[in-house]
Amino acid sequence: MSEQETKREKDELSQELAEWRVPPAPGALDARVFASYRSGEWRHVPWWRAAFTTSVRMPLPVAVALVLLCIVSTVAALRQSRGVVPAPAAVHSPAQVRETVRETPAVSADLRGFEFEREIKVRIIRQGERR
C-alpha cells in the first residue's frame, strides 16, 4: 500500500467517524440503572471477597522497611529461643519426672556438667501388666 492510499483511507475513515452518530439509549435503561442503584445491590459484597480483592497502596521504602522489620524480628526471636537449658537433676519418681518435664522448656546439646547416675534400675513392663 502506498502512502497516498493510506492517507486516502484515513481521510475516508475520519469523514465516516465525523458523520456517525451514537444511537439513542432505550428509554427503560435510565429507569433500570436508577432502580439498581437505589436497591443497593452493588454494595453487598461478601467480606471474604472484599478481603481478597482489597489493595493497599504504600510507597516502596515503607514496604521495604516493613519486610526488613519482619526479618529482623524473626531472627531475634529465633536467637532467643536457642538459649542453653541446664541439664535436669537426677529423677527418681514419676512425680519428679512430671515436674522436670514441665520445667524443662527445650533440650540442649550442651553436655557440660553432665554426670551419669551411679545406679540404674530398669524394669520392663509387658503389655497388660500392672505398673
For 62, the grid coordinates are: 515503607
* Tens digit of pLDDT at every position of the chain (131 positions): 688 888 889 899 999 988 888 888 888 888 888 888 888 776 777 888 888 888 889 999 999 999 999 999 999 888 876 655 555 566 566 666 666 656 555 555 677 777 777 787 878 778 777 66
For 64, the grid coordinates are: 521495604
User: At which residue does the C-alpha cell 526488613 appear?
Assistant: 68
Q: Write out the DSSP string of 9-41.
A: HHHHHHHHHHH--PPPPPHHHHHHHHHHHHHTG
Annotated domain spans of the chain? 3-78
State the Cα angle at 28 between 25 and 29, rounded to 5°. Answer: 55
The pTM assigned to this predicted structure is 0.30
Amino acid at position 53, single letter: T
CA 86 to CA 111: how far, in whole Å? 9
* pLDDT of amino acid 127: 78
Contacts of 11 (CB under 8 A, 6+ apart): none
